[in-house]
Amino acid sequence: MDRIIPGILEKNWTEIEKKIETARILNKTIHIDIIDGQFSPNQTFLDPKPFSKYADELFLEAHLMVSNPLKFLEPFAEAGFKRFIGHVEKMENIEEFVAKGQLLGEVGLALDIDTEIDFVKINMEDLDCILLMGTKAGDSGQKLQDKVFEKISSLSAKTFIPIEIDGGVNDENILKLAEKGAERFVTTSYIFDENPLEAYKNLLKILESR
């Protein structure tokens, strides 16, 4: 199972493509942040079509930080995305999103840092993963908030589905995140700020030391 997943949060395709070319050397699973400017003030590149050139080679994961995640499912599936993670905070019908996502690939739900686990009322075993934000959704480069550790412990006690952490993951906290029960770790600024290969290998080494 992919544990360290490169994350990309960018406003233009040129920067996205540069990072994909780097990330594909590290992992065939790549996490793409999709932000519509309504879920949060930030906005990323929203056109799914250019990603189709990578559909056969890569496992693309869409993190839908948008006002209506359901309407983004089909366009991104047509472009070759294989996992869809939607934020519950702006979701009109969680059950409908999950059912549609299951038809198109893997599906998960995301909870922002201040959203309680109990917000999700559906059977979690219908999901392929749960993503917990370690920071406020919408921007990269933020510091991990300690409250996420308790949320991981609470969630891992309720379900066996993979818990994915996004936001603030680095070499100083990834081990504790794993010890609390997280299995996948999306990292954006930590990997891309300096030497991506070295940073990626460092995180893997820390996890393997458990």
Residue-wise pLDDT for 64-89, tens only, equals 999 999 999 999 999 999 999 999 99
pTM score, whole prediction: 0.95
Q: Across residues 54-60, what is the average pLDDT?
A: 97
Annotated catalytic residues are 33, 166
The total of other beta-carbon atoms located within 10 Å of residue 97's CB is: 24
What's the CATH code of the domain at 189? 3.20.20.70
Taking alpha carbons only, the member of 89, 88, 86 closest to residue 108 is 86
User: Mutual orientation of helices 94-104 and 70-78 as an angle, nearest 10°?
Assistant: 10
Tell me what the mean pLDDT of segment 201-206 comes to.
96
Q: Contact at 8 Å (CB) between 68 and 77? A: no
Q: How many domains, in total, are found in the chain?
A: 1
Of the chain, the percentage scoring pLDDT greater than 90 comes to 85
Q: How many CB atoms lie within 10 A of CB 181?
A: 18
Structural domain including 165 reads 4-208
